[in-house]
Amino acid sequence: MKFLQYGIDAPYAVTHLILAGLALMGVGWAMQFVYPVAMTKIGLMITFFIVGAGWSLLYTAALMVFSSCFSKRHLAKKIIAKLQLQGNESILDIGCGSGLFMIEAAKKLSTGKAIGLDCWVKKDQLKNSPYHTLRNIDRENVYDKTALVTGDMRYLPFKDHYFDVIISNLALHNLSSSQARTKVIEEAVRIVKPGGRILFIDFQYTKEYSTELSKILMKNVHRSKLNFIVCPPVRLVSAEVQSPKI
């Protein structure tokens, strides 16, 4: 199914939202039969609150699925278009998953190369595997302009000042400590060329990302407003290399 081509983000979270929503709906439905108090004014208010909470969780799960299947493609196209790539760039997608941003960038390249790096954790994305990503690369006919690397984003296996553009979409927040996230940012700065660009897209810790990039003397560090195209809403943190400090 093509709409599942780029997987479902946070599939465990989606599953938990659905199960919790259905459970609350079930409790709200059962209350009117089990407890006579449910027919009182207070009981009806409690029942309404429980059912409403259940609907809210199910609606959030539906938004997340829709975002994974459709909205994030629009976001990727929009962000890659803003880069105004010349076609000869070397690009790295950190935490590439099913390859959406890497593939979208590769479509804009002629002599350049887009590389995707991931450690392929199943809980981060449905069907998260290099095999699935290779299938997407083949479907989009960008095989000769892409490459996959299995690795830890905290220790990027690339030489200094190698990439023109580094992108990471909904990946850094999966690291539990600020020290680990800072390490990824430092590694990204190390391998980007002078004058190159770094873009982090995330729904958490974006203030932290912009602060760390500023500390490393990046220039034009910008943290966008919330973008509600996808669920959960995300911010884009972008920066340019001022000088090779790392």
Each domain of the chain, given as residue ranges in start order, spans: 2-67, 73-240
Q: Whole-angstrom Cα distance, residue 81 to residue 194?
A: 21
Burial of 203 (0-12, 13-18, 19+ CB in 10 A): middle
Q: What is the three-class DSSP state of 26?
A: helix
Which residues on neighbouring strands pair with residue 165, listed in sequence order? 91, 197
The answer as to CATH 3.30.1950.10 being correct for domain 73-240 is: no
pLDDT in tens, 7-30: 889 999 999 999 999 999 998 888
Compute, in degrees rounded to 10, the torsion defined by CA atoms 220, 225, 227, 232: 110
Give how far Cα 4 sits from Cα of 8, 96, 118, 126, 159, Å: 7, 16, 19, 9, 34
Q: Residue 159's pLDDT is what?
A: 95
Residue 118 burial (C-beta neighbours within 10 Å; 0-12, 13-18, 19+): buried
Q: Which residues of the chain have pLDDT under 70?
A: 1, 3-4, 34-39, 243-246
pLDDT at 39: 61
Global confidence as pTM: 0.89
**Cα three-residue angle 142-85-129, rounded to 5 degrees:** 35
Q: What is the pLDDT of residue 217?
A: 75
